[in-house]
């Protein structure tokens, strides 16, 4: 029985696209169901800022009318312009344990990209590397945190059997931020000297000032991350959308800014309470009780994800990163949150991976991004 792959065209198709992982992973796995409404909004070209600088096509694979897989193919013009290449991406990869299904999905994505002049396909990413990215290759027993995918082991095995080659691995580091004894003493020494020696202080963001602080975040991100694999600079439209997303998970205790004595931002940490601990109770729906769990999230969430911690290159010698790390430990002492994960961090980012070791962290998940010449 052959596999047929067709573009998503109708409302029913899009509903099947969103629903597929609920059927594949919804029972007996650590997978956390996303809010279905949010997924539909995210896929809407009128509402997602990605489509201001990118285009995409969603595909469904069916066998005898039954949905057995899904994938997207997308082009990010900002990525291509920054890297001066003609790469295309694929994402939203979900499929039954069937090599024929995966091959058909990858062929459909590759064909769509090839017809638009792309010479290499990389992924998965939904739609960019700042969204859910990679295929899980280690850490299957752990529940995913916010903006992390979860896949069963056969995903990676079949991807490699299909001819996809490794491009890069992404690491997630677990930290017990209530366990100061595991941290190298130099971290505390650098943090204590930060204000006296370098005139740097740490403040917390506010909801009202969040969008303004995200301009500083983008400046640091675009300066400090520009040499990283898969980097794309944030645009104003991206930041507007990002600010709206951050408002939904904002927690003043964990959104941090480091400033010098002239009030200039030199470093930022965006640490997000793991709303997946709430989503798992909501089972993809706001009603009848999903909204109640969300409104009570501060009584539920016990972990966080350090999604971004960046320092302007000119200030990296000051130990400001150590100051931000120390503030995380201070917050763990006065809030429900006592641990979490940092990343993703590229396997090639030696400095950041060494810093995580110094903090007493351990790698608990690895995600793999693949590539294929078209």
Mapping DSSP onto H, E and C, the string for the chain reads CCCEEEECCCHHHHHHHHHHHHHHHCCCCCCCCCCHHHHHHHCCCCCCHHHHCEEEEEEEEEECCEEEEEEEEEEEHHHHHHHCCCEEEEEEEEECCCHHHHHHHHHHHHHHHHCCCCCEEEECECCCCCCCECEEEECCCCCCCCCCCCCCCHHHHHHHHCCCEEEEEEEEEEECCCCHHHCCHHHHHHHHHHHHHHCCEEEECCCCCHHHHHHHHHHHHHHHCCCCCCCCCCCHHHHHHHHHHHHHHCCCCCEEEEECCCCCEEEEEEEEECCHHHHHHHCCCCCCCHHHHHHCHHHCCCEEEEEEEEECHHHCCCCHHHHHHHHHHHHHCCCCCCEEEEEEEECCCHHHHHHHHHCCCEEEEEEEEEEEEC
What mean pLDDT do residues 49-69 have? Answer: 95
pTM for the predicted model, two decimal places: 0.91
| pLDDT on residue 231 | 86
Which sequence spans correspond to the domains of the chain?
4-169, 174-366
* Local confidence band at 293 (pLDDT 50, 70, 90 cut-offs): low
222 or 367: which carries more pLDDT confidence? 367
Q: Is the pLDDT of residue 116 over 70?
A: yes
Q: Report the mean per-residue pLDDT for the chain.
A: 90
Please name the residues in contact with 253: beta carbons below 8 A apart, sequence gap of 6 or more: 204, 331, 334, 335, 337
What mean pLDDT do residues 134-163 have? Answer: 96
* Local confidence band at 178 (pLDDT 50, 70, 90 cut-offs): low
| pLDDT on residue 202 | 93
| pLDDT on residue 164 | 97
What mean pLDDT do residues 284-290 have? Answer: 64
Please name the residues in contact with 174: beta carbons below 8 A apart, sequence gap of 6 or more: 339, 340, 341, 361, 362, 363, 364
| pLDDT on residue 3 | 94
Let me know how long the chain is. Answer: 374
| pLDDT on residue 290 | 62
| pLDDT on residue 294 | 67
Q: Looking at domain 174-366, does it have CATH number 3.30.1370.10? A: no
Q: Which of 148-157, 204-213, 316-325 has the highest mean pLDDT?
A: 148-157
pLDDT tens string 7-19: 999 999 999 999 9
Please name the residues in contact with 80: beta carbons below 8 A apart, sequence gap of 6 or more: 86, 87
Please name the residues in contact with 26: beta carbons below 8 A apart, sequence gap of 6 or more: 33
| pLDDT on residue 58 | 98
Pairing mode, if any, of strands 265-273 and 255-259?
antiparallel
What mean pLDDT do residues 93-98 have? Answer: 97
Percent over 70 (pLDDT), the chain: 96
pLDDT tens string 334-351: 888 888 898 899 999 888
Q: Do domains 4-169 and 174-366 have the same CATH topology?
A: yes
Please check whether residue 135 is in contact with residue 107, taking contact to mean a CB–CB distance below 8 angstroms: no
Judge residue 312's burial from the number of C-beta atoms within 10 Å of its C-beta, 0-12 exposed, 13-18 middle, 19 or more buried: buried
| pLDDT on residue 12 | 96
299 or 105: which carries more pLDDT confidence? 105
The CATH number fitting domain 4-169, selected from 3.40.50.300, 2.60.120.200, 3.40.630.30, 2.60.120.10? 3.40.630.30
Q: Is the pLDDT of residue 77 over 70?
A: yes
């Amino acid at each position: 029985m052959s596999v047929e792959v067709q573009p998503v065209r109708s409302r029913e198709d899009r509903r099947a696209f969103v629903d597929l992982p609920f059927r594949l992973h919804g029972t007996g796995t650590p997978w956390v169901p996303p809010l279905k409404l949010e997924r539909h909004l995210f896929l809407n070209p009128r509402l997602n800022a990605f489509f201001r600088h990118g285009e995409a096509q969603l595909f469904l694979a069916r066998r005898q009318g039954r949905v057995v897989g899904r994938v997207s193919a997308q082009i990010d013009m900002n990525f291509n312009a920054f890297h001066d290449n003609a790469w295309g991406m694929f994402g939203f990869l979900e499929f039954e344990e069937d090599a024929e299904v995966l091959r058909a999905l990858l062929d459909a994505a590759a064909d769509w990209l090839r017809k638009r002049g792309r010479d290499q396909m990389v992924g998965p990413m939904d739609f960019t590397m700042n969204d859910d990215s990679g295929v899980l290759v280690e850490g299957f027993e752990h529940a995913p945190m916010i903006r992390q995918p979860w896949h069963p082991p056969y995903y990676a095995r079949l991807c490699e059997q299909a001819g996809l080659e490794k491009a890069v691995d992404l690491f997630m580091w677990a930290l017990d931020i209530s366990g100061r004894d595991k941290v190298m003493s130099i971290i505390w020494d650098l943090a204590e000297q930060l204000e006296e020696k370098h005139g740097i202080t740490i403040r917390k963001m506010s909801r009202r000032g969040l969008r303004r602080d995200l301009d500083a975040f983008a400046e640091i991100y675009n300066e400090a991350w520009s040499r990283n694999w898969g980097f794309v600079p944030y645009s104003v439209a991206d930041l507007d959308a990002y600010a709206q997303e951050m408002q939904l998970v904002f927690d003043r205790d964990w959104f941090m800014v480091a400033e010098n004595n002239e009030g200039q931002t030199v470093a930022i940490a965006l640490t997000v309470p793991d709303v997946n601990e709430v989503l798992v109770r909501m089972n993809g729906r706001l009603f009848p009780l999903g909204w109640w769990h969300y409104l009570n999230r501060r009584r539920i969430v016990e972990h966080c994800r350090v999604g971004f911690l960046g320092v302007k290159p000119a200030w990296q010698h000051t130990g400001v990163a150590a100051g931000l790390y120390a503030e995380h430990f201070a917050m763990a002492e006065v809030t429900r949150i006592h641990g979490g994960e940092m990343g993703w961090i590229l396997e090639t980012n030696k400095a950041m991976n060494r810093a995580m070791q110094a903090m007493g962290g351990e790698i608990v998940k690895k995600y793999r991004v693949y590539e294929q010449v078209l």
